[in-house]
Structure 1
Amino acid sequence: MSDKINSVKEKLINDYIRKIDTAVENYNSAIETDGEIFELVFEIANVFENDVPNLSGSLLLRTGSELRDASTTRAMLIMHLANSGIEYKGKRVEENVNEKRFWNSFIHWFETELPSMELLNTRYLHWDHWDGGTWILGLDYDHEFTLYRGTAYPDSLRNNTGDFSEIKAFIEMAYKYWVINSGECHYKFTIEVNDRFKIFKLPYRLQSGIVIKQGYKTTFPIDKIINYRMFERKIQFSEDMISSKDLMEKKSALDFIIDALQYLISTQGDSRNEQYRMLSLSVNDNMEGKVYAVVKKELDELMKFSNEYFDIRHNDYLNGAKEKREALNDSQFIEYLYNRAYAMLYLLRLKHKDIKERE
């Protein structure tokens, strides 16, 4: 237990928190790494080595972790004050910093640079003869959102609150309705959007007109909807929740992805063996081959994990064999199981078209 914080040390901690806030506010995510933030958190970790011994081990100190490390350091300093009965009364760290900066950059580009790139339908453009002539964007955002979404242009976009769900909706509407419907125009628009995602270190990419969360590495996009209510919606929910820092949301993500996999399995036949056989054949039709065997075994393993080993999708304390289901309390292991199930489900979704074509 450290000594009680005196007024001098309290001032020092408050000064460091303000320095973190300033560094975050001035953070330029277009730079590959931000040495200022790394140097500051490293300095703080050294200064409070004895008072907050867990701080150093909580920092990643690698490319892309600048804001995460700053937030961790700030939170642990505030907790150190709280442990001594001192309430930190300074301002909160701004939320969704990268999302806000992305939107600020994107909408500025969209309204000033995009009109002259010959990517937008001309009905959304006006020619201004002033000063040599230039194209001016003529989009009525309220009209367009009412037309295609049944809602007014969101306040979150007007005020830039960093609501990524609305940013996503805007980009997807632009791709589908406002950009010229040609492969070349869609490609150039996609490149511009994805370059900005990279600049602001957001884990998303625009692919075939849909903004998807990065994580699963593939060059093969999913281009079909099997069943939105019973299948696709669950996958979307899981993709949103698995990146949460909250343990229960991660567990819910795992529940949803296993639920989606179970649904796909259930559509393939009456018996479990027949279902596994049909899905394995969709990937490789050589029943004597290793690919077929691997897929079938993996399906069996994933269902064992969810039905027998762990508390996935089930509230029952015991499994069918009256054995105790093990609780999942390790976020990293939950992510491992999720990614394992997600990879299998992604492969089966890619091959689902092949099944239909043979029928």
Structure 2
Amino acid sequence: MVIDYITKVNKAISNSMVVVEKEDIFDLLIEIANVFQNEIPEIQSSILLRNGTETRDANTVVGLLKLYLANNNIEYKEDDEENREIKRFWASFILWFETELINLDLLKDKYLRWDNWDGGTWYLELDYDYEFKLYRGIGYPDSLKNNMGDMSDIKNFIEIAYKYWIKNDGKSHYDFTVEINERLKIFKLPYRLQNGILLKQGYKSTYGIDKILNYRMFERKIRFSEDMINSNELMEKKSALDFLIDALQYLISTQEGNRNSQYSQLALSVNKDTNSKVYAVVKNELNELMKLSNEYFDIRHNDYLNGAKQQREALNDSQFVEYLYNRAYALLYLLRLKQCNQDGQECEVIGI
């Protein structure tokens, strides 16, 4: 039932991109909130049901439903989950590029053809296959022809367009860049066109994580958070932070002993010398992050007061939420790297 509702909400979000039927979406969200009022009471308190909050409310409900599945060890794999938004972006972008861009006076004249028929119309005259062979040494990719969601090929297309097809002046490049970045935001893709190069935003590291500790209880939450933190909506950013702190709490819970002992074991995974500054920094950061989430701010908790009967402060600053997210993400990334490097640690290869 949960997976069926996720599918229905995703379909409603997709349909709303063409014609926004907010009443239909809100009716569905209210139904879900009522059905799961005992199992997931956070749904009722998280949706606003106001004009303009349709997509935000729908994404929040999907996130909470996915978290419920993860917490109950139920695997959920959405069709084309990783590249669904990329496909939507490309479908939208290429339609704009081949129809709207022609009239914006941004393309070089040699790529346009004027037809005097019926009052005159400009047409795009770009041989994609020829251009890709000329500038990349390969034919026009099948992934772009068939919209397969390959971001590396989309990156090539946009960068070729910026450098060779768009007029070589500051205003044209600026207007093209603004349009690309706005579309990337709409589809919540963590990329940004800057000086003609499509850059991926997010955590920077030369070390990749190719193994997982626990997909259902741990990695899924991190992946959900990575998608939601790029939203422009404050509530989705807060949900991303909740997911991430949940994942960190799970990792802590896998260690033996009391809370201090658990922090020590994780710090030891980074540096075996308890007298080292590295060990002290990691242990202290674990303690600080848990204090921030359990005592200072409304992270992971709906309670108005913390354990000391002090008021938790609401997080209303999106930039500060991102700061807390990136701070926790950096520590969790380090711990994930170290956990799978330990002898005897059971880690699975990603994709299994």
TM (normalized to structure 2)?
0.51
Match of 1:149 among 112, 136, 148: 136
Q: 2:95 matched to 1:108?
A: yes
| C-alpha spacing 1:158/1:151, structure 2 compared with 1 (3 Å) | same
Q: 2:40 matched to 1:49?
A: no
Residue type of the alignment partner of 1:132: G
Q: CA deviation at 1:182?
A: 0.8
Residue type of the alignment partner of 1:317: K
Query: 1:142-291 alignment to 2 at 5 Å?
Result: 142-213=129-200
Distance (whole Å) between structure 2 residues aligned to residue 19 and residue 64 of structure 1: 13
Q: 2:327 matched to 1:336?
A: yes
Distance (whole Å) between structure 1 residues aligned to residue 82 and residue 116 of structure 2: 42
Distance (whole Å) between structure 1 residues aligned to residue 155 and residue 94 of structure 2: 12
Q: 2:56 matched to 1:69?
A: no
| C-alpha spacing 1:65/1:237, structure 2 compared with 1 (3 Å) | farther
Distance (whole Å) between structure 2 residues aligned to residue 58 and residue 149 of structure 1: 51
Residue type of the alignment partner of 2:32: I
Q: CA deviation at 1:16?
A: 3.5
Determine which structure has greater relative contact order: mean sequence separation of CA pairs < 8 Å that are 6+ residues apart, divided by chain length: 2
8 Å CA contact retained: 2:43, 2:61 = no
Distance (whole Å) between structure 1 residues aligned to residue 124 and residue 80 of structure 2: 35
CA RMSD of aligned residues (A): 5.0
Q: 2:16 matched to 1:27?
A: yes
| C-alpha spacing 1:73/1:245, structure 2 compared with 1 (3 Å) | closer
8 Å CA contact retained: 1:98, 1:201 = yes
| C-alpha spacing 1:320/1:120, structure 2 compared with 1 (3 Å) | farther
Q: CA deviation at 1:30?
A: 9.4
8 Å CA contact retained: 1:116, 1:134 = no
Corresponding position of 1:129: 116
8 Å CA contact retained: 1:157, 1:166 = yes
Q: CA deviation at 1:336?
A: 1.6
SS at match of 1:113: helix
In the alignment of these two chains, the number of paired residues is 244
Distance (whole Å) between structure 1 residues aligned to residue 175 and residue 278 of structure 2: 56
SS at match of 2:16: coil
String of CA shifts for 1:15-73, please: whole Å, max 9, x gaps: 64553243133132897x966545533431332222x2465399676686455324335
String of CA shifts for 1:212-245, please: whole Å, max 9, x gaps: 45679xxxxxxxxxxxxxxxxx66989xxxxx96
TM (normalized to structure 1)?
0.51
